[in-house]
Amino acid sequence: MSDDKRFYLTTPIYYVNDAPHIGHAYTTLACDALARFMRLDGYDVFFLTGTDEHGQKVEKSAQAAGMDPQAFTDRVSENFRELAKAMNFSNDAFIRTTEPRHARASQAIWQALMDNGHIYLGSYSGWYAVRDEAFYDENEIAEGEDGIRRAPSGAEAEWVEEPSYFFDLSKWQDRLLAFYEANPDFIAPPSRRNEVVSFVKGGLKDLSISRTSFKWGVPVPDDADHIMYVWLDALTNYATAVDYPDTDSPDFSMYWPCDLHMVGKDILRFHAVYWPAFLMGAGIDPPKRIFAHGWWTNEGQKISKSIGNIIDPFEVIERYGLDQVRYFLLREVPFGNDGDFSHRAMVNRINGDLANDLGNLVQRVASMIQRYFDGTMPVHAGGHRDADHELLDAASGLLETCRDRMRAQAFHEALDAVWSVVRQANAYVDRQAPWASIKEDRVRTGAVLATLVQTIRRVAIVLQPFMPESAGRILDQLAVDPGRRTFANLGSADNVPVGTALPKPSPVFPRMQEETAGEASA
């Protein structure tokens, strides 16, 4: 397989100080949809997710739970595996930073930075936010009315003074800016790129990359008094998963550099500034692209534990259905922007887009074939009319449109393109009125229904990355062979053969009941 048909993408590894929430589900879902899309398009995909299990925050969370840190991370990490199962994620690997192979990789990248002259021993005094696992300048810290010093994120900051190893980040300003200039697609969307470029142009300070005040982390090579800064440890996971430091291994040779790191906007600086500098300093190619998406609110309110409005993805799936939730999260908001998770918006998408538009289209077409043609695929005889060509051409053009949108991580635009064809197909049904034409022109009725089946087949194949179970059920109702559902099968050569027996149709997307729609919140 050629190099341009390989694709490596990652989620951030999730911090195990708490239970999974909708933000975790959202990030991994975006990666899952893209991974599935690329596989269907003939790519060899490696899709990684996992958990970040070191640092002071985890140590404190374990202490609060009355548990040993390793036992605590074992338990919480499993919750993220369960989320992956519940959301039907197709990740190829799940990494934990407490794995021995990861300690080796982290120490190897440290040693490479040390050997290349980018690490020196000094002492750190300044502000540190345990919740963010981040250092902050004095001008970034504000004192609240309660007298507590807080970081820009709102996290409580504490003054730290301790011996520390430093990475010479101050020397990387010009090299990073040159890298951004040479790779304009490295950071997306453009608003986030602008933020990073502005931050780097403002000047960089050397970065403290070790701690001595606690022990839950990867030991610094040749200095047992220090553990590695959790972000240097955590970011290295992306290389650990493809066998670093064995750069001659088949996996490293095949998949590195990573094609895409998907992250939340709150951790962009670590990925777009620190990570490429670490990698280049260690003599490793940086990733090709980093995309930072936005945050969700809940019914217009910022989500926080103190308010008590955390959105539990397991509960949401139980309430609305898995593919309904997958569709809503990727369709409702332009990917990269902030969005609001509201009950009414969810119900509107389920009843409008899924039940009325797509579900009703499939049900109507399949039912008419059952009624008018004894449940067998009719022949498209008598030549295609202009209306047939318009619909079939629109469906045939979906793949190219979606390829462009998915490559840009514009998931909402890809779904918009699919629904444009769905709406066109519904309008075609209404104009052609097969329930009327069957009384006078059976041949034309067959041609109309055959056109619709081929359109729905193409729509369902393209929808598989977003709603794999539901798209599979639609293809089942069209009797499409499970082995002929990739993008290579979108052409007319793989149309449902004339005379194929179609199963009795059943609804794919049930409507939400009105009494449910009237409830205020989940």
**510 in a structural domain:** no
CA distance 328 to 466: 10
Question: What average pLDDT score do residues 246-259 get?
Answer: 97
**33 in a structural domain:** yes
Where would I find the H helices in 397-503? 398-407, 411-432, 434-437, 442-463, 468-477
CA distance 40 to 325: 22
Within this chain, do residues 96 and 17 fall inside the same structural domain, yes or no? Answer: yes
pTM of the model: 0.93
Residue 18 has pLDDT above 90, yes or no: no
- Looking at the 3D structure of the chain, how many domains does it have? 2
Question: What average pLDDT score do residues 54-77 get?
Answer: 91
Within this chain, do residues 216 and 152 fall inside the same structural domain, yes or no? Answer: yes
Within this chain, do residues 349 and 239 fall inside the same structural domain, yes or no? Answer: no
Within this chain, do residues 65 and 175 fall inside the same structural domain, yes or no? Answer: yes
**310 in a structural domain:** no
Band (pLDDT 50/70/90 cuts) for residue 75 is very high
Band (pLDDT 50/70/90 cuts) for residue 372 is very high
Structure tokens at 455: 């359109």
Band (pLDDT 50/70/90 cuts) for residue 305 is low
Within this chain, do residues 58 and 188 fall inside the same structural domain, yes or no? Answer: yes
**336 in a structural domain:** no
Within this chain, do residues 123 and 247 fall inside the same structural domain, yes or no? Answer: yes
Cβ neighbours of residue 441 closer than 8 Å, sequence gap 6 or more: none
Residue ending a domain, among 232, 260, 294, is 294
CATH code for the domain of 402: 1.10.730.10
Structure tokens at 246: 């064995």
Could you report the per-residue pLDDT of 466-515, keeping only the tens digit for each? Answer: 999 999 999 999 999 999 999 999 999 999 999 999 999 999 999 987 54
**27 in a structural domain:** yes
Question: What average pLDDT score do residues 357-364 get?
Answer: 98
3-state secondary structure of 38: helix
CA 119 remoteness from chain centre: 34
CA distance 416 to 429: 20
Percent of the chain with pLDDT over 90: 81
Within this chain, do residues 241 and 350 fall inside the same structural domain, yes or no? Answer: no
CA distance 268 to 263: 7
Phi-psi domain of 393 (left: phi exceeds 0; alpha: psi -120 through 50; beta: other): alpha
Band (pLDDT 50/70/90 cuts) for residue 125 is confident
CA distance 80 to 303: 19
Strands of 339-341's sheet in order across? 301-302, 296-298, 339-341
Residue 87 has pLDDT above 90, yes or no: yes
Percent of the chain with pLDDT over 70: 97
CB contact at 8 A, 260 and 10: yes
Token match 């041609």: residue?
447
The amino acid at 347 = V
3-state secondary structure of 9: strand
Q: Terminal CA-to-CA distance of the chain, rounded, Å?
A: 47
**505 in a structural domain:** no
pLDDT the model gives residue 130: 83
- The CB density around residue 376, as the number of other CB atoms within 10 Å, is 15
Residue 519 has pLDDT above 80, yes or no: no
For residue 122, give the nearest of 56, 212, 54, 214 by alpha carbon.
212
**312 in a structural domain:** no
Within this chain, do residues 83 and 198 fall inside the same structural domain, yes or no? Answer: yes
Token match 């609305």: residue?
320
Residue ending a domain, among 294, 323, 354, is 294
Question: What average pLDDT score do residues 383-409 get?
Answer: 95
CA distance 381 to 359: 27
Within this chain, do residues 76 and 212 fall inside the same structural domain, yes or no? Answer: yes
CATH code for the domain of 228: 3.40.50.620
Within this chain, do residues 231 and 363 fall inside the same structural domain, yes or no? Answer: no
pLDDT the model gives residue 3: 60
3-state secondary structure of 206: coil
Better-predicted residue by pLDDT, 463 or 304: 463
Better-predicted residue by pLDDT, 145 or 463: 463
Q: Which domain holds residue 153?
A: 3-294
Could you report the per-residue pLDDT of 410-436, keeping only the tens digit for each? Answer: 999 999 999 999 999 999 999 999 999
Residue 518 has pLDDT above 50, yes or no: no
Within this chain, do residues 149 and 282 fall inside the same structural domain, yes or no? Answer: yes
Residue 521 has pLDDT above 50, yes or no: no
Phi-psi domain of 500 (left: phi exceeds 0; alpha: psi -120 through 50; beta: other): beta
Cβ neighbours of residue 455 closer than 8 Å, sequence gap 6 or more: 391, 392, 394, 395, 421, 425
Question: What average pLDDT score do residues 122-136 get?
Answer: 86
For residue 246, give the nearest of 46, 115, 104 by alpha carbon.
104
Secondary structure string (H, E, C) spanning 258-285: CCEEEEEHHHHHHHHHHHHHHHHHCCCC
Q: What mean pLDDT is reported for the chain? A: 93
**52 in a structural domain:** yes
Residue 286 has pLDDT above 80, yes or no: yes
pLDDT the model gives residue 515: 45
3-state secondary structure of 222: coil
pLDDT the model gives residue 514: 55
In the beta sheet, which residues pair with residue 291? 188, 262
Within this chain, do residues 20 and 105 fall inside the same structural domain, yes or no? Answer: yes
For residue 358, give the nearest of 508, 214, 258, 239 by alpha carbon.
508
Token match 């369902």: residue?
460
